[in-house]
A and B are shown apart, each in its own frame.
Chain A
Amino acid sequence: MSETGFFTDTTLCIGCKACEVACKQWNELPSDGFEFTGESYDNTSQLSGTTWRHVAFVEQVAVDPAAASPIVEKWLMMSDVCKHCTNAGCHEACPTGAIVKNEFGNVFVQPDVCNGCGYCVVSCPFGVIDLVDPIDEDRKYAVANLNEARRDNNQTAIQNNGGVAGKCTLCYDRQKIGETPACAKACPTESIQFGNLVELRERANVRVETLLGRGIDARLYGAEDIGGGIGPLNAFFLLTDRPEIYNLPTAPVLPSTRQPAGYAAAAGTALALAIAGWAIFRSR
């Protein structure tokens, strides 16, 4: 089975948030609350355990000396999602094996296995995965628009009464029946392109060339090895500015790469103290 993923081309994004809504609808996720942020058109602010696509809105002010008021000349929009890392921090960290790499090469959380330890949350270098509060069975249907018929399909945290981790499934259930993920399907401008990774990467490279030819500062994020031991991202992006602008890490690091140093330091310390202790306890 060839690996699938997303190429999200931000130059085509019109910020309609159809992806965000389609994802919630397909996956029967609840809203994250109704809070007006005053931060451009972004009122959901970030990915969460129940927001698996998030559209960022970046207003860039031109420094125009003649202008009396700061003037926005560029309004960048970008639909963020789980990166489905080749070496995924969440996947490595998960102690229960709830997080797996499925047959499509996507990182999938099995909500019926997860026990909500939260270790994946702190192990994602991109701040994607998060825990969903526990919900009792009675309230479940009030929280989300659950479809009785899909009750048992064990795709999401909510279907499992919460208390577990949630993130993009890359629409595992849809892929299994040959459907395009809901977000990509809903995107009116093909900003979100789903498909075979090899093809997507080729397309992305061509696209970058085209855009560079038009004088646009296009660059790919995660199409190749992103560094830090993570490898390429199966959901990669075409950006027109530095990643930080979109709240993406410039230099993410796979947390597990720090384990050897940690164990070594611990072992060294333990050894040193053991010697000291030996001296103390065994001296006559």
Chain B
Amino acid sequence: MNPDYYGRPVLKAPHWGWNVVTYLFLGGVTGGLGIIAALADPKDESGLKLRKTARYTALAVAAANPVILISHLGRPERFLHMLRTFKPGSPMSLGVWGLVAYSATAAATTVIEDDRLTALQALLGAYLAGYTGVLLSATAVPLWGAGKAHIPAASVCSGIASACALVSAISCMTGNSEAVRKLERFELVATAGEVAVLVHFSMAGGPRVGRLASRVAVPLALALVGNLVHVPERYGRMRTLLASALTMTAGYLFRNALIAEGIASTKDPGAGFRQPE
């Protein structure tokens, strides 16, 4: 007897494409930048410089992101309807408000140096990076639901890693090599964390988790290699830039794979019959 209905899926596939991928990616990046800004040690020059770079970049990315979000709406002119209500139970609503609050804080920190503001930005940044994962995991999409803890965790790692990559590239160009060195270490830790989370996720299993893992395995491996490899001094800058590019690519591809495999998982007939707790 047919286990499913003519191979038709139970669930509706997300209507999400490149813009949501980008939005999630940038959301993670800007959140990560907020954390980096707070971590940067204001007591030394390189740290101070890093903090400024991180803050400005965070603000720029945070400001760009709504544009991308708006572009994916069915009715872009109604973006502001997102702000007509505050629903903490809706990750999307909370996220948009989080982004607003974050952007405001990010703007404030660029002009006001205040420890509490800095901490707030870092907290909101952590939230933002995590929200890009919860936004997915709190849906009926089988892959995402299966990764209810893994995806938010990996999203935080990925966001921080990509943020590190972005500011290290900038710092490299501006000659803040001390910052680059620290950032690369942090980037390595975050990437390693992401790998660990995803390995755990694939071991736990779930619809199309294997496909997700195989799609991100190579980019993440390359990102790790980029950070670990030793090159002669004169190629140092190039390596840094390359490693940054690899990490950011891996970050983007991770989000892309999440969306693509999430969509695929909804199309799998029968995948929605028993939904993950």
Do these two chains interact? Answer: yes
Interfacial residues, chain A to chain B (CB-CB below 8 A): 37, 39-40, 42, 45-46, 56, 58, 60-61, 89, 92-98, 113-119, 121-134, 162-165, 228, 243-253, 255-259, 261-270, 272-274, 276-278, 280-282
With an 8 A cutoff between CB atoms, is B89 at the interface? yes
The 28 sampled A-B contact pairs (Cβ below 8 Å) are: A95-B92, A114-B78, A115-B73, A115-B74, A116-B74, A117-B74, A119-B90, A119-B92, A121-B15, A123-B139, A134-B75, A163-B73, A246-B5, A249-B10, A250-B274, A251-B274, A253-B140, A255-B139, A256-B89, A259-B89, A259-B134, A262-B137, A265-B152, A266-B129, A267-B126, A270-B126, A270-B156, A281-B39
- List residues of chain A with CB within 8 A of the CB of B3: 244
Q: Are A114 and B75 in contact (CB under 8 A)?
A: yes
Nearest CB of A to B36, in Å: 7
With an 8 A cutoff between CB atoms, is B14 at the interface? yes
- List residues of chain A with CB within 8 A of the CB of B150: 265
| Known contacts A124-B12, A252-B272, then 15 further A-B pairs from the complex at CB < 8 Å, ordered by chain A residue | A45-B6, A61-B1, A92-B87, A117-B72, A122-B12, A124-B140, A125-B275, A126-B10, A127-B12, A163-B73, A266-B129, A266-B130, A277-B160, A277-B189, A281-B47
CA gap between A257 and B149 in the complex, in Å: 12
Among A94, A246, A256, A266, the most chain B Cβ lie within 10 Å of the Cβ of A266
Q: Are B273 and A244 in contact (CB under 8 A)?
A: yes
Q: Are A280 and B138 in contact (CB under 8 A)?
A: no
The A/B interface has a contact count, at CB < 8 Å, of 258
Interface string of B181-222 (1 = CB under 8 A from A): 010011001100100010000000000000000000000000
- List residues of chain B with CB within 8 A of the CB of A89: 140
Q: Are B84 and A118 in contact (CB under 8 A)?
A: no
Q: Are A113 and B5 in contact (CB under 8 A)?
A: no
Nearest CB of B to A134, in Å: 6
What is the interface of chain A mostly: helix, strand, loop, or mixed? mixed
Given known contacts A95-B87, A268-B153, is B8 in contact with A253 (CB within 8 Å)?
no
Residue of A nearest to B122 (CB): A274
Q: Are A118 and B85 in contact (CB under 8 A)?
A: no
Residue of A nearest to B80 (CB): A115
Residue of B nearest to A42 (CB): B6
With an 8 A cutoff between CB atoms, is B16 at the interface? yes
Q: Are B137 and A258 in contact (CB under 8 A)?
A: yes
- List residues of chain A with CB within 8 A of the CB of B141: 122
- List residues of chain A with CB within 8 A of the CB of B268: none
- List residues of chain A with CB within 8 A of the CB of B56: none
Q: Are A265 and B153 in contact (CB under 8 A)?
A: yes
CA gap between A273 and B152 in the complex, in Å: 14
Given known contacts A39-B6, A118-B14, A269-B197, is B145 in contact with A249 (CB within 8 Å)?
no
Interface string of B211-245 (1 = CB under 8 A from A): 00000000000000000000000000000000000
Nearest CB of A to B94, in Å: 8
CA gap between A258 and B277 in the complex, in Å: 7
CA gap between A266 and B12 in the complex, in Å: 27
Q: Are B152 and A269 in contact (CB under 8 A)?
A: yes
Among B73, B82, B182, B270, the most chain A Cβ lie within 10 Å of the Cβ of B73
Nearest CB of A to B215, in Å: 20
With an 8 A cutoff between CB atoms, is B61 at the interface? no
Q: Are A273 and B275 in contact (CB under 8 A)?
A: no
Nearest CB of A to B193, in Å: 6
Given known contacts A96-B84, A127-B12, A257-B277, is B75 in contact with A266 (CB within 8 Å)?
no
Nearest CB of B to A13, in Å: 16
Q: Are A247 and B8 in contact (CB under 8 A)?
A: yes
Residue of B nearest to A246 (CB): B5
With an 8 A cutoff between CB atoms, is B27 at the interface? no
Among B5, B155, B156, the most chain A Cβ lie within 10 Å of the Cβ of B5
